[in-house]
Amino acid sequence: MNPESARHGAAYWLAIALLVLWNAGVLLLAIISRHSYTSCMAGDGYMCLDFSRPILAVLFAVDGIVALVAAFVHWVRVRRSARR
């Protein structure tokens, strides 16, 4: 079995869809957080917290972990197919 010619199954497309939803949701959350911080600062400016940067840090960390897992799975599949 050649990994490059193999078609992706339902689990792959489900994972891609979940990743897209995760990225869109977290980006929306970061935008909403930044907007509420800006609105708070325009008001009285008392006890305004900006969580957009930590939210984006979590987004990039999770995406990095997903990329590492995908690279590992690809490496294992290539290695298994090379044995055959």
Q: pLDDT, tens digit, for every residue of 2-55?
A: 555 567 788 889 999 999 999 999 999 999 999 999 999 999 888 899 999 999
Residue 2: which region, alpha, beta or left (left: phi > 0; alpha: psi -120 to 50)?
Answer: beta
Does residue 3 belong to any structural domain of this protein? no
Of 84, 77, 72, 59, the residue nearest 6 (C-alpha): 77
Residues in Cβ contact with 66 at an 8 Å cutoff, skipping those fewer than 6 apart = 19
Helices (H), the chain: 10-42, 52-83
Does residue 54 belong to any structural domain of this protein? yes
Distance of CA 45 to the CA centre of its chain: 32
* Full-model pTM: 0.78
Does residue 1 belong to any structural domain of this protein? no
* pLDDT in the model for residue 8: 79
The stretch 77-82 carries a mean pLDDT of 89
Does residue 49 belong to any structural domain of this protein? yes
Count of domains observed in the chain: 1
Q: List the structure tokens of 19.
A: 């990743």
